[in-house]
Amino acid sequence: GDSVTQMEGPVTLSEEACLTINCTYTATGYPSLFWYVQYPGEGLQLLLKATKADDKGSNKGFEATYRKETTSFHLEKGSVQVSDSAVYFCALSVTTQGGSEKLVFGKGTKLTVNP
Amino acid sequence: DGGITQSPKYLFRKEGQNVTLSCEQNLNHDAMYWYRQDPGQGLRLIYYSQIVNDFQKGDIAEGYSVSREKKESFPLTVTSAQKNPTAFYLCASSRWTGRTEAFFGQGTRLTVV
């Protein structure tokens, strides 16, 4: 079935370090792909998305490219800040047999950035 | 401002009691979802609804029930049949058509005491 596998955490970095969180997926058809971020005690917020192969989503210095050939959507940032400390979820949108859409999430990767 | 409101933020329940979590949205979204979040397990789908008066089971529906009498509201009842109800519950909504993103509420942390 449809699934998302993302890099296990936790990840600890120093401020201004480079970040990569790996995400690969299994899906039938052509899903849309998303990265969500969750700050402590809160719900999820959309960070970026890509709806077709080779699309690049970007927001707040984060980027991810939809790679159909490797079924991947890795999250990258060139220089992280303390305020980026959060849990990051990779997700894909699939269409059910009934025609509805639902999101399938990875397990999340906790990022801690130290000053 | 448009958004999703979950209430309460914290909820305590005695074993054997049913409890209902509220979720309201004013985004005019057709689709609404309930997820359960446990440490190290990500988000798991409990129920979802695409239109009023219709809903489908997700991956872990046992011990839960929902209703969708109004477009804006999608309450979740955690019944006494749910064996391990202590968790963080998240409600979300999205537009019906297209592969659009979901908008999430702030969550309800349920603790069974």
| Maximum Cα–Cα distance across chain A | 49
- The closest of B18, B43, B17, B40 to B105, measured between CA atoms, is B43
Place of tokens 């929902």: B66
Gap from B16 CA to chain A (nearest CA, Å) = 27
- Residues of chain A in contact with residue B43, where contact means CB-CB under 8 angstroms, are 44, 89, 105, 108
Average pLDDT, stretch B60-87? 95
User: For position B96, what pLDDT does the model report?
Assistant: 66
pLDDT for residue A2: 85
Give the H or E element holding residue B100: none
- Each residue's pLDDT tens digit, A101-112: 778 899 999 999
